[in-house]
Amino acid sequence: MARTPRGTEVLEKAKELLSRARTVDELRRAQAVVLPLEFGLSMGRTAAIIGVSKGWASQLRMQFIRAGGADTKRRRGGRRRENMSYDEERAFLAPFFEKATKGGILVVGEIKRELDNRLGRSTALASTYNLLHRHGWRKLAPDTRHPKADSEAQEAWKKNSPGSSRRSTRHGRGKDRSG
């Protein structure tokens, strides 16, 4: 004689889950509880109906019962390894964005240094770019000049530099092919 199935305390929750199940897993979990209790089916017959092995049907049933009929399937998604919450990130980036909107530039290296200081450890540069991307900053502009460049020396060099030689520009290859 087979054992009496357990789980009568979660039977109503299982029936409710049958009607609102959005995934196959949710449906199978509910069926693993309802079929033995409502229709007196064995675990072997229940497993055959829901399309899993007998052991797996038993596991699904026990997970549902142990959780008290609560949703035992963890939802994936979101940021599981975040350094700061979204609001903390926004507050962290606010001074940089304010400076950038007033005609300044957004220097990623500077933001990375501040981020490293705030977190107390070194982070990857890609983390800083991902942080900026999350907050809608996508403008990439090339540097107009090196920060340590001497513009006067560059202008003096342009004025005094020798012109290009006729030989190097004649055929675009640098060799004279006239003879």
Instruction: Report which residue type is found at 28.
Output: R
pLDDT recorded at residue 53? 94
Alpha-carbon Rg for the chain in angstroms: 34
pLDDT band at 171 (very low <50, low <70, confident <90, very high): low
Q: Count other Cβ atoms within 10 Å, centred on residue 57.
A: 25
Q: What is the rounded CA–CA span in Å between residue 157 and residue 149?
A: 13
What tens digit of pLDDT does each residue of 66-119 get? 887 776 555 667 777 788 999 999 999 999 988 888 877 788 899 999 999 999
| Token digits of residue 176 | 């004279």
Tens digit of each residue's pLDDT (9 = 90 or more) over 128-139: 999 999 998 876
Least confident of 27-41, 51-65, 157-171: 157-171
Domain boundaries, the chain: 8-66, 86-134
CATH fold group of domain 8-66: Arc Repressor Mutant, subunit A (1.10.10)
Handedness of CA 133, 134, 137, 138 (dihedral sign): positive
The residues, any chain, with a CB within 8 Å of residue 175's CB and separated by 6 or more, are none
